[in-house]
Structure 1
């Protein structure tokens, strides 16, 4: 902590993701609002935890990734980065908190320091008679969903290797999140309003009345910001999800194209919309080293296409083509687009509000089938803390359990009713697409 306080100012600016997050946190703080900012990753382990071994691997993880070596302060509205000169100064120490209730544990996790503090992360274990639960609470400032892979490998697997007396795991040299930030800012400095990607972003915003896409059903709030609540539903079991993916492939699409098609069909059914519009996040990691680097490396792809009376196969192919053709737009931060478009009458000044649909398959990069198996066997889970959000967010996860949906929406009865209608219709659209191929899977099962 003392070394962090003495860390000098760096010329490397925060990434656009980090800068937006820090400004949003400060705005929430000034309004005395909580912010949904923590990624809480948990899994279960057998036996009794060895605190020395666990402390060793957690310390190694923090030293390995340079995103943890930075902290930020605000000076006259500008975000300034400080960097620890020597990663070896980071040394975690275990602290025993004694017996706790569930409420005590929740308070401890939610008290993870704010993103302007260097130590905006917490790691710990809950020891029980028959095993223990590991947890990591990391501010979004330093991580995106791919942190699951890093924690499973660099903490879970490394911890087991230490206990078994094996040598250090050969993890491969990670990339630098500082380099990611610097490269992003360098590209941004060379980007102009005339660049094709910026032009396509502005056209997308123009088609949505100068803003991000709006959710199809009533939310009961006129403001962009609201206290969020969450719903979690298992949409498709594993065998049915396999059939759904086969239906997507038969249409010339991948799962993301099929899921976007189902969302479009849902909006057509519930709201009569003839055009579907949404943003979907994707990783902006582009190299093998980048895929070994934890940090916030996510951009969003703008999606919109006509729905009309088209069928699932037609929409799945259209959505997939839309996604693939616009994937490069994720490398242009929406905050940069709005900076460049300031003053244009067709574009609003902020990117808040709207709706986001995210899909992540834990069986493929940046995770893997191996990590997915480990995650499933360890009963792994990811949580986020409740707080103010600025959009309707829908997260779809493909695991060995199948397909699940988690959604965040305004905490009021109107939005709750709308989201429950939406989730039911979306699940129905996914099942209907899968049903066409389910008999084939049943036949294969009988042959085996």
Structure 2
């Protein structure tokens, strides 16, 4: 069964092929070096990412920073056509037109003056196996380099694997499938003379950054959303939420390990969604409820607390904008002895009521709260639970179908894991879970216990609306 969800990069094990990489031309690199400083500050997402990268670099640690989108195409790749397509893609999205440097402790942005002058060029590297391919992907330049993005193919007799490796600085999970569709559609239009899908013009990520900073400048401790963020942190002893189970010594945190599990197949996932709707919730509410039930079962916790990322895009044009547009929603609610339907409704209400807090970057909250003794100063760490459904807008059923037909999948490179990150992906194949955690025996045992219990909670919720599921399992 093809993989259609999130996996660590070292899991990729495709057959050997002839590798071609697309990188900016030497002339484009020279133009980038001459790009003037821009008054547009980095977004909070970009700034935090760049500071985190520099901290990892100083400690000689790896950083999980790459989004690697992979899909399959038939036939022999027309290198000239794909050169035109990836060049147009980089010119089209203005996040690629910036690069950053540190000056006196601050991060400043440079912006290329003439994006139409950017030219991507193919570099043919010959036959490679899976391990070689992974090394080339890992060599994607770091985020302080302008060209921290690569596109490429692995050509074989029967077809080719197409991929994009982009530093997180320039993208987020919302755009993964859309990026594939944009490049795929444009490539087919060039080689077949077909009319490309009308994707519409993208928005400007520079505008997003400007608008975010403008709103931040007007935000104070007196704002309602900031007060709610601070109250959330104070309920967690001034910190981000901690994982419910032991993770081992802090000295063991520097390397990430991953576990991947297919939680529910498509039919059972439909039953789970029906159970959520019957409770007055959506899938995100149901998944948060299952996580709360898991912590109650394994750790006896009577209150569930986590942060969950969500896009901060608010318009169709924004959803066509490549860039990092993500905030986090703080979640916490009492669990006690409540049932799944009760918890799903509570979790959904909690998520909906706090959704606006995602528009207030946690880094900004910590800046404003720097003088408060009850709030810590670090936004990293903690536990995150992320849910993404590629079947619903803004990705749409058509994009989800293309993603499925092209065996689309996304990989992340291995890095550090101070705490726990849990990604839940829903595709046409069902629901999968990928988790990153510190690579030590204590955290490994805890994470495997957690994943098994979480999967069980999801299946029990689905069973309530799909009574034959357990019977079928017993018959097998």
Give TM class, smaller chain: over 0.9
The equivalent of 1:445 in structure 2 is none
Matching residue within 280, 305, 319 for 2:308? 280
SS at 2:193 equivalent:
coil
TM-score, reference length from structure 1? 0.97
SS at 2:365 equivalent:
helix
The equivalent of 1:147 in structure 2 is 175
In the alignment, structure 1 residue 306 sits paired with structure 2 residue 318: no
The equivalent of 2:157 in structure 1 is 129
Measured after TM superposition, the shift of residue 168 of structure 1 is 5.0
On the 8 A contact 2:418/2:437 being kept in 1, the answer is no
Measured after TM superposition, the shift of residue 158 of structure 1 is 1.2
Give the alignment of 1:312-331 within 5 angstroms. 312-331=340-359
Measured after TM superposition, the shift of residue 396 of structure 1 is 0.2
The CA RMSD over aligned residues, in Å, is: 1.4
The equivalent of 2:87 in structure 1 is 59
The equivalent of 2:410 in structure 1 is 382
The equivalent of 1:368 in structure 2 is 396
On the 8 A contact 1:57/1:154 being kept in 2, the answer is no
Q: 1:61-115 CA distances to partner (integer Å, 9 max, x unpaired)? A: 1111000000000111100100001111111111110111222111100000000
Matching residue within 96, 120, 123 for 2:148? 120
In the alignment, structure 1 residue 95 sits paired with structure 2 residue 134: no
CA, structure 1 residues 45+159, in 2 after alignment: closer, same or farther (shift >3 Å)? same
The equivalent of 2:73 in structure 1 is 45
SS at 1:36 equivalent:
coil
Give the alignment of 1:219-298 within 5 angstroms. 219-222=247-250, 226-298=254-326
For residues 321 and 224 of structure 1, the distance between their equivalents in structure 2, rounded to whole angstroms, comes to: 37
For residues 422 and 440 of structure 1, the distance between their equivalents in structure 2, rounded to whole angstroms, comes to: 26
In the alignment, structure 1 residue 107 sits paired with structure 2 residue 138: no
On the 8 A contact 1:278/1:356 being kept in 2, the answer is yes
Unmatched tracts of structure 1, length 5 or more: 443-448
On the 8 A contact 2:391/2:400 being kept in 1, the answer is yes
Measured after TM superposition, the shift of residue 360 of structure 1 is 0.3
In the alignment, structure 1 residue 203 sits paired with structure 2 residue 209: no
On the 8 A contact 1:7/1:84 being kept in 2, the answer is yes
On the 8 A contact 1:65/1:294 being kept in 2, the answer is yes
SS at 1:97 equivalent:
strand
On the 8 A contact 1:224/1:391 being kept in 2, the answer is no
For residues 364 and 44 of structure 2, the distance between their equivalents in structure 1, rounded to whole angstroms, comes to: 8
For residues 19 and 441 of structure 1, the distance between their equivalents in structure 2, rounded to whole angstroms, comes to: 47
For residues 103 and 457 of structure 2, the distance between their equivalents in structure 1, rounded to whole angstroms, comes to: 50
Q: 1:29-76 CA distances to partner (integer Å, 9 max, x unpaired)? A: 111111000001101111111111111111111111000000000111
Measured after TM superposition, the shift of residue 153 of structure 1 is 2.2
With 239-248 and 97-106 compared, the bigger mean Cα shift is at 97-106
TM-score, reference length from structure 2? 0.91
On the 8 A contact 1:68/1:142 being kept in 2, the answer is yes
For residues 188 and 196 of structure 2, the distance between their equivalents in structure 1, rounded to whole angstroms, comes to: 11
On the 8 A contact 2:178/2:399 being kept in 1, the answer is no
Report how many aligned residue pairs link the two structures: 443
Measured after TM superposition, the shift of residue 166 of structure 1 is 2.4
CA, structure 1 residues 426+327, in 2 after alignment: closer, same or farther (shift >3 Å)? same
Q: 1:186-236 CA distances to partner (integer Å, 9 max, x unpaired)? A: 000000001000000000000000000000000002369521111111000
Matching residue within 200, 222, 225 for 1:194? 222
Measured after TM superposition, the shift of residue 377 of structure 1 is 1.1
SS at 2:444 equivalent:
helix
On the 8 A contact 1:150/1:294 being kept in 2, the answer is no
For residues 370 and 311 of structure 1, the distance between their equivalents in structure 2, rounded to whole angstroms, comes to: 36
For residues 126 and 345 of structure 1, the distance between their equivalents in structure 2, rounded to whole angstroms, comes to: 54
On the 8 A contact 1:35/1:389 being kept in 2, the answer is no
CA, structure 1 residues 225+9, in 2 after alignment: closer, same or farther (shift >3 Å)? farther
On the 8 A contact 1:221/1:410 being kept in 2, the answer is no
In the alignment, structure 1 residue 17 sits paired with structure 2 residue 34: no
The equivalent of 1:446 in structure 2 is none
The equivalent of 2:379 in structure 1 is 351
